[in-house]
Chain A
Amino acid sequence: MNNILVLPMLLPLLTGFVLFFLRPSVKAQKIVSLLSLLALVAIAGRILYRISDEGILRLDFGGWAPPFGILFVGDSFSALLVLTASVVSALIIAYSFTATERRMENMFFYPFAFFLVAGVNGSFLTGDMFNLFVCFEVMLLASYVLITLGGGKVRLAESMKYVAINVVASWFFLVALAFLYGTVGTLNMAHVSVRVAEAGQGPLLSAVAVVFLIVFALKAGLFLYFWLPGSYSSPPGPIAALFAALLTKVGVYAMFRTFTLMFYHDDFIMGTIIGTMAVVTIIAGCLGAVAYTDIRQIASYNVIIAVGFMVLGLAVFNEEAFKGSVFYLIHDMVIKGILFLIVGAMVYLTGKTKITEMSGLIRNYPVLGWLLFLTTLGLAGIPPLSGFIGKMYVGLGAVEGGNYFLLFIGFASSLIVLYSMLRIFMNCFWGETIINREDQRLYPARRLIPIAILGVLTIGIGVGAQALEPFVSDAARVMANPDLYIDAVLGEVES
């Protein structure tokens, strides 16, 4: 029985509700959270191994066979992302144990962090478009709470924008679902794929596909990213890290799922529209990353560049490029987690946000400085760190597909990323120190440990790419051959 598939969503949800009752004791909340997170990582690992043994897994809720019931489908792509999301969120929540204000801990910070994780994992695993919408909403509702928690004028202003834009996007999502159901009469992803292939992707279905593209582009910050820098730079470190590591990646995942499984027939949408959006996103992200002096803004624009780069793999549309994008997704969850934690720590330690106002931090906080340097190299994709392998495969895919322009834009963006990050590193960590030894705020080792573990992970993913490769290849193979997914979901039903 494949009930294990529901656990990555069920366990965080249950934990969240249990934490609700543990509100008076912050310590009990932390212990329960930690145990649950460890269990979550173990479960995600187990799912990944079962998939490599037994192929794509599926769980029909309540025993209702597809396409009539709702189901969770675990293929390597979903399982890899669930595992990465679980590990990264475990480390970020462990970090927030020591870095969250008491006031926020009392106002249900941990329960909502768990609901966020539940929504993210559910979105990765679901095999039903409407269920995807529900999981998105679980994740977004939790994020609305987290972004407004604690208050403050700037944050409330930014969160108003964030909530408004996401409510509009969710409405578009519903409209797209209604069109899809009205056109093909089903919402089961595999079944939609079969029917779209049978009917041919005519103008109507292409229009539906474009509406989905707009929805996921809004959520992922692809082209329609204008809301992102503000809302990702206003909350405190751990929350921003959770957002940057998980939320946009879910949008990117949904885009890959939709356009590799269901709407892969139209070359114009695949190549031209998505490709253009990716290129514009990368260029605009680069401009932002270079233009701003606020470190939180620079970090946020780096999120946008990464989203553009991952979607390049989708625009190139071959197995090699998918492989690169999967690697890059995994890498990006880890690296954006570290980046936002370090940026949050820098703001916390100095009380300043602009690179012109900080200098010489390396004398006060050497470990933090070198971790930021590691992050810089990882973001730029320097071997043997984790960013390299993803960029290499996307590059190979682009060469194979003859998309040299996309290749050029993708790799040129690495240089800008390197420059924008080195700007932070050199301005803030080199030079005369601005903090006296006496006034120096203590940065406890307990906080450094989760960041350091993430740092080790980024090295590990790069060096150990060989070990990850079979899973990633399998993920890319399923994306390039939608029939594998369809057979796993509908195979027994039709025969």
Chain B
Amino acid sequence: MLLKIAEILFIFGVLILGAAALTWVERRLLGLWQDRYGPNRAGPLGILQPVADMVKILTKEDWIPPFADRVLYVIAPAIIIIATFMVFAVIPLSPSLGVIELNIGLLFFLAMASLSVYSVVLAGWASNSKYALLGGVRAASQMISYEVFMALSLAGVIMMAGSFNLRTIVEAQQGLWFVVPQFFGFVAFFVAGLAESHRLPLDLPESEHELTAGFHTEYSGMKFGMFFLGEYVGVIVTSAMIVTLFMGGWHGPWLPPLVWFGLKMAFFVALFVLLRAAIPRPRYDQLMAFGWKLLLPLTLANAVITGGVLLAGS
């Protein structure tokens, strides 16, 4: 029992520290790819930058605009934190490590991803300002649309592993990672994950150039910090899910399983940052057309073909 609690606290702590470190890692990587340095002053290589940011954001005035809906305004940032952290409970980090083993682990992940939509929509609504509302509306339609493909792109994985249990799915990739037979599923899931965590090429709910900051325009202080934290935890969680579902989880030669999991996850986190550095944001109708006209047929065909092949093979 105590061991389990220690394990949960360990995973929780690693996740929070990872998200905090990611704020620094992302800026350093962006700097690297834009031929500049990024934050390199606080501590060696600027590693203490997250501490400085934390001190700054915690000591800021925590202001709620008088025109806002106070209850929803306060609840919204909490939802995204809870939803994204909950996902990590079902992810198996190594053969022995993992908070909980659910038979419906994958469904739990999809459910929590859907719940995090509430956060941005409620934030946009409760802020009671037009930029925030537009951001919230965009977030709602974007995330609901991409959830469809997210679930559909996983249909192939579920069929091949024969289970919703994430641990079973990882164990089914002992010989061959699912990224090979399920390549289209992998691509669709990657794009959908990007849209779900509303990271930069698909950050239309925020899009600072046209909506100032979208759904969190009115937020300041630690409430804004919680949205920020939620976004970075979302990046980590999406990377962890990609690794679990398609890249063979902890499998890999020579190195211990946990290290393999971490390395693969770090690769995808870096890829997320590279996408941010390289790809411009699409127009909103392009985003919707890409989802419904390209990804939906692709994932449906992927599911049908996978099912057919499996049926023929059995």
To the question of whether A and B form a pair in one complex, the answer is no
Q: Which chain B residues have a beta carbon within 8 Å of chain A's beta carbons?
A: none
* A interface residues, Cβ below 8 angstroms from B: none
